[in-house]
Amino acid sequence: MGRGFSISIDRDEIAPALERLSAFDAETALIATANSLAKDAKAAAPRDTGGLANSVRVEVNGSRGSVGYTAEHAPHVEYGHRQTPGRYVPAIGKRLKASFVPGQHFFRPCVERARDMFRRMIRESLEEAAP
């Protein structure tokens, strides 16, 4: 995935439990979780121009899924960033005032909800597969 950051849900993390699942069940849970996370991440992204929300990308390749933002400024908005006070920024037509802009941490809650969803789906599949 391009620049920015992403979160991966890796099946290897819970491999013992997944061995009891069919590959179809695990892949279905992975795809559903990745798509849900992407939808949630797009809705949670701070809106100024819409560029951040529109940069959400999903990749699912076999047993690995990634969701992230490709916009270069995504990590700065998520985690915060330093800047030079007094510097004029033509894009906003203003001079910068603060030396640090705190992060908005909009993606982290989305990831936590996705982890819970993935675990719940796997747990339900295991319960259905139990003899």
| Tens-digit pLDDT profile for residues 70-117 | 999 899 999 999 999 999 989 889 998 999 999 999 999 999 999 999
pTM of the model: 0.72
Per-residue confidence (pLDDT) for residue 42, from 0 to 100: 93
Per-residue confidence (pLDDT) for residue 86, from 0 to 100: 93
Q: Name which of 11-15, 25-29, 116-120 the model is least confident about.
A: 11-15
Nearest to residue 78, comparing CAs of 5, 2, 1, 3?
5
Instruction: For the beta carbon of residue 103, count every other beta carbon within 10 angstroms.
Output: 15
How far does Cα 93 stand from its chain's mean position? Answer: 31
Calpha distance 48→38 (Å, rounded): 19
**Could you tell me which residue, 25 or 12, shows the higher pLDDT?**
25
Calpha distance 57→45 (Å, rounded): 13
**Could you tell me which residue, 112 or 1, shows the higher pLDDT?**
112
Per-residue confidence (pLDDT) for residue 28, from 0 to 100: 86
| Tens-digit pLDDT profile for residues 34-55 | 999 999 999 999 988 888 999 9
